[in-house]
Structure 1
């Protein structure tokens, strides 16, 4: 089961990357129905099928490359859902004191809700709240799978100065700070505000006069939210808030990494702190590159993937401080 959970973690990370790629290539509505694509299990291929699809959805004619981006994401997500179902059933059948049951069942419920969010993303025409929720749901599934993997692991940390245990609380706060920053990034991306500011470190022009926090975090009425429904000032505010969140996150997690490295007697925790600091610096570099180089697709996708890795490192440190010291 541990091997299956490990495989599912890799698969969940791939799903997050594919989801980011789908969103960044404007393929979120590449298939206007769900769970199939124009009424098929695959993208329409033949000329007759494409004509029938265009007739059924005249407002959304077939764009093959976008449709495939969307369907590949769905195939991988569906496979992940099946793996989690097997894990949950296996946990019920192989009950033992060493075998977690509640977490696999929670995972199963979570992935079902995540599938609903995927459906609503399409049926509600990329409603930003749903898109951001879908992103957070993917990170939640990955985190829970990683926690299950740690629960099934037998590693132990040897003697550690018990004063380091107090940093478990700070690590939990770090997770909260990082999740808040991921949510800000998801909101910025869902509203197509990633390029609202094209200069660094400040935004172009008189950006301060355009700040509109209530408008930036509202959902304006629209029939379709593809390419965004907020005005320029509101998108600028989203972008600025995400940058400010990045500064707070960098300072807090950087402080946590330094404290753990300097004060821990455990080689394991010191190594984890080094990894945390390294991944954090890479993430900041990717974020700056997104602005300076006008959101290159590869860099933007990596920005999502490294955020997931950063979250996993924090979860590992927190779990170790609470359960393995």
Structure 2
């Protein structure tokens, strides 16, 4: 059976929600590009950019902006990514309002309403984190939370898409016990991927990407000098500006090394989960297991390529986007194993 239901079987707002998911991917990618291009402070004020709705472009506008913000002069290669990211992110709020209107006006049974309402509130909160990212000068705690908020927004939109798609697995009765056993395993897989993404966010927000410029060793050693206490000190005070990072090398190595170890744990567990999915005697579950392994392989390859090719920005952006795709595979797995129905006739779907 195809993954997507026929239009007659879907619930109201499916297409709009699916489009919103695609927009969220673009927003996430643009946000990552902005961060990796060191354009997070490309506009030192919020919500405008040097007081402009877009950004200063004319010579007299640039001169006036430089006079108003002498500590952060205009850099044209950093202003436009920041503002485009802001406007794209704002558009998600409009999409969510439209989705909520569809839900409230629908007469269909079990039409999701609470999730669109929560999504709208969460996107507003995410906008606040975007503001704090600028006003608190790239404070790592806020930058990491903002990144996780972007992944969460995409995940919630995808979850809503799945619910509006109104498609459920039909599990043969013989696999019912396996289905029950795999449910907590799916949740654990989701949590592991979230933790790994958080580690990745903490790595980039503290500029620890290049702390280990070699692979598979780090700083030429399997266990280089590391300072975990400083590397994971989330109570650090708000400084004047975190552009470029403030931690010493040992602390950054500890962060980067932890992210690598997390990648090993994540890979091992998701392969284990994929094997369990194959045991459900369901064609759709096997296809999802293959998808998990394929996306996981791509993510590991991109992570290694980041180091080998000295962190090119296009590879780094792709690494983040495939990480988001890996997260969506876990959202999908968790959704399907918890909403699956047991087919007593033993028909395979």
Q: Give the TM-score taking structure 2 as reference length.
A: 0.90
C-alpha distance in structure 2 between counterparts of 1:101 and 1:260, whole Å:
31
| SS of residue matched to 2:209 | coil
C-alpha distance in structure 1 between counterparts of 2:215 and 2:121, whole Å:
42
Which position in structure 2 is the counterpart of 1:86? 98
156-165 or 297-306: bigger deviation: 156-165
Ranges of 4+ aligned residues in structure 1 off by more than 4 Å: none
CA-to-aligned-CA distance 1:37-58 (integer Å, 9 cap, x gap): 1111101111111111111111
Which position in structure 1 is the counterpart of 2:111? 99
| SS of residue matched to 1:152 | helix
Residue from 235, 239, 255 that aligns with 1:238 = 255
Any unmatched runs of 5+ in structure 1? none
1:41 and 2:58 are equivalent in the alignment:
no
| SS of residue matched to 1:195 | helix
Equivalent pairs, count:
324
Which position in structure 2 is the counterpart of 1:60? 72
C-alpha distance in structure 2 between counterparts of 1:269 and 1:205, whole Å:
42
By how many angstroms is 1:90 displaced?
A: 3.1
C-alpha distance in structure 2 between counterparts of 1:205 and 1:6, whole Å:
46
1:278 and 2:294 are equivalent in the alignment:
yes
By how many angstroms is 1:97 displaced?
A: 2.4
By how many angstroms is 1:96 displaced?
A: 4.3
C-alpha distance in structure 2 between counterparts of 1:312 and 1:109, whole Å:
21
Aligned partners of 2:171 and 2:280 also within 8 Å: no
By how many angstroms is 1:63 displaced?
A: 0.6
70-79 or 210-219: bigger deviation: 210-219
Q: Give the TM-score taking structure 1 as reference length.
A: 0.96
By how many angstroms is 1:226 displaced?
A: 0.6
Which position in structure 1 is the counterpart of 2:331? 315
Aligned partners of 1:155 and 1:324 also within 8 Å: no
C-alpha distance in structure 1 between counterparts of 2:100 and 2:51, whole Å:
31
By how many angstroms is 1:296 displaced?
A: 1.0
Q: CA RMSD in A?
A: 1.3
Any unmatched runs of 5+ in structure 2? 1-12, 342-349
Which position in structure 1 is the counterpart of 2:346? none
Mapping 1:4-15, distance limit 5 Å: 4-15=16-27
Which position in structure 2 is the counterpart of 1:153? 165
Mapping 1:1-325, distance limit 5 Å: 1-94=13-106, 96-160=108-172, 161-165=175-179, 166-205=181-220, 208=223, 210-219=225-234, 220-221=236-237, 222-261=239-278, 263-325=279-341
By how many angstroms is 1:318 displaced?
A: 1.1
Sort the Cα spacing of 1:102 and 1:201 in 2 relative to 1 into closer, same or farther, 3 A.
Answer: same
C-alpha distance in structure 1 between counterparts of 2:97 and 2:50, whole Å:
27
